[in-house]
Chain A
Amino acid sequence: MRVLPLLILLFFLPPAAAPGATWEIVPGATRVEVDVHWLGRVVTLRFDRLWGSIAFDRQRPDRARARITVDARRVSTGLAVVDAFVRGPDYLNVETYPTIGFRLDRLVRTSQSTADVLGQLTLFGITRPISLQAQVFRYGPTPGAPDRFDAGFDLTGAVDRRAFGHTTGLPQIDATLPIRIRLLMRSV
């Protein structure tokens, strides 16, 4: 059983503890990957440290609220020399902009296991709207802790870095940055 249809769950699961219950991000199971395309090749930037607050009522997903912060200083590519460049002033400039922020505005269900995620992305101090597509990859009681609940989403989308004033390496380095986020959250 890969993905439980949200709709069925909404009918058969016991109600959530409280409307707008709070959730925590499961650190090891959550990561953000951004693909940087350069002349037909790709470098993947991985962010593995993020934190934030999520209010999500399983019966009213449309009312979900979240603020998530990504630690830009911990970005890694798998190669130290490249990491140094990516973190440096010519790329992510993490000294000046140590975090990347996301605020969820609206969750719109598009099918039993998919949703559109609309929010605001803050990068280099500039905030712009962003939309991502979510696909549920886990939805059920936490294994080994039946009083808690896991909700896991794979989010995909793309950011045009020019909207955030980022022009390094254009046009050899693509302006569009495909994003993949695996978010596992657990009710507290």
Chain B
Amino acid sequence: MALRDGPGGWGWPSRVLHWGMAALIAAMLGLGVYMIRIERDLIVQYQLIQLHKSLGATALLLAVLRLGWRLAQPGRPALPAAMPAWQRRAATASHLALYALMLALPVSGWLTASASPLNDADAVPFRIPNMVFGLFELPDPFPRGTEALEAALGTLHRGLALTLALLLTVHVAAAVKHHLHDRDQVLRRMWRG
């Protein structure tokens, strides 16, 4: 099993990161919507938001690792020769955007939570720290948060999440089209290397 990516295929770290993060991000999109829009029990909601922060911090760490790994690779599998130029441009642009969103989503979420006055030292009725699996607290760039800043960053986080969800839909649809319609190796090689 190859370690590094090259013209012959994706190495295993790239594939593990790809599918692991795919599952994590899909779960985070669902969890985010569920905890904010559906859950009515405040205690359960609190626990889900803490889980969301922990998984989100994990996603950020993985995104940094993934980007670092990707930039350190000697090469990568080429796109099928039959692909028209506009599709190549679309693939490159959407993959760039996916990397940007993988970083921007957790960062904006973390900034939202940090901007909340509930995260301040003298919060009423009690302070909500941004803990990662109860192990350590994320740094707090806004020791004095405001509701206005929290709302603005929350809107940004939500907008980015929606953009990511739409882009992922296109990404998945394109992969399925490669597999079923074009019958090329694009999807299979992300699984088998």
Q: Quick check: A85 and B125 within 8 Å, CB to CB? A: yes
B122 within 8 A of A: no
Q: How far is the CA of A149 from the CA of B47 in the complex (A)?
A: 41
B126 within 8 A of A: yes
B90 within 8 A of A: no
Main secondary structure of the interface of B (DSSP, over half): helix
Q: Shortest CB–CB separation between residue B87 and chain A, in angstroms?
A: 46
Q: For residue B126, which residues in chain A have a CB less than 8 angstroms away from its CB?
A: 81-82, 84-85
Q: Which stretch (A39-47, A50-58, A138-146) binds chain B?
A: A39-47
> Which residues of chain A from 62 to 101 have a CB within 8 Å of any chain B CB?
77-79, 81-82, 84-85, 88, 90
Q: For residue A78, which residues in chain B have a CB less than 8 angstroms away from its CB?
A: 43
For chain B, give the interface size range.
Answer: under 10
Q: Quick check: A41 and B42 within 8 Å, CB to CB? A: yes
Q: Shortest CB–CB separation between residue B44 and chain A, in angstroms?
A: 8
For chain A, give the interface size range.
Answer: 10 to 19
Q: How far is the CA of A81 from the CA of B128 in the complex (A)?
A: 9
Q: How far is the CA of A88 from the CA of B46 in the complex (A)?
A: 20
Q: For residue A42, which residues in chain B have a CB less than 8 angstroms away from its CB?
A: 40-42
Q: Shortest CB–CB separation between residue B5 and chain A, in angstroms?
A: 45
Q: How far is the CA of A79 from the CA of B47 in the complex (A)?
A: 9
Cβ proximity bits A4-25 to B, threshold 8 Å, 1 near / 0 not: 0000000000000000000000
Q: For residue B43, which residues in chain A have a CB less than 8 angstroms away from its CB?
A: 43-44, 77-79, 82
Q: How far is the CA of A88 from the CA of B47 in the complex (A)?
A: 22
Cβ proximity bits B95-134 to A, threshold 8 Å, 1 near / 0 not: 0000000000000000000000000000001100000000
Q: How far is the CA of A41 from the CA of B41 in the complex (A)?
A: 6
Residue of A nearest to B127 (CB): A81
Q: Quick check: A44 and B41 within 8 Å, CB to CB? A: yes
> Which residues of chain B from 135 to 171 have a CB within 8 Å of any chain A CB?
none
Residue of B nearest to A80 (CB): B126
Residue of A nearest to B44 (CB): A78
Q: How far is the CA of A157 from the CA of B41 in the complex (A)?
A: 20
Among B41, B45, B47, B125, chain A packs the most CB atoms within 10 A around the CB of B125
Q: Given A41-B40, A79-B46, A84-B126, 17 other A-B contacts at CB below 8 A?
A: A38-B42, A41-B42, A41-B45, A42-B41, A43-B41, A43-B42, A43-B43, A44-B43, A77-B43, A78-B43, A79-B43, A81-B126, A82-B43, A82-B126, A85-B125, A88-B125, A90-B125
Task: Identify 26 residue pairs between A and B in the complex whose beta-carbon atoms are under 8 Å apart, listed by A's number.
Answer: A38-B42, A40-B40, A41-B40, A41-B41, A41-B42, A41-B45, A42-B40, A42-B41, A43-B41, A43-B42, A44-B41, A44-B43, A77-B43, A78-B43, A79-B43, A79-B46, A79-B47, A81-B126, A82-B43, A82-B46, A82-B126, A84-B126, A85-B125, A85-B126, A88-B125, A90-B125
Q: A residues within 8 Å of B by Cβ?
A: 38, 40-44, 77-79, 81-82, 84-85, 88, 90
Q: B residues within 8 Å of A by Cβ?
A: 40-43, 45-47, 125-126
Which 6 pairs of residues, A with B, have the shortest CB-CB distance?
A: A85-B125, A41-B42, A43-B42, A78-B43, A81-B126, A79-B43
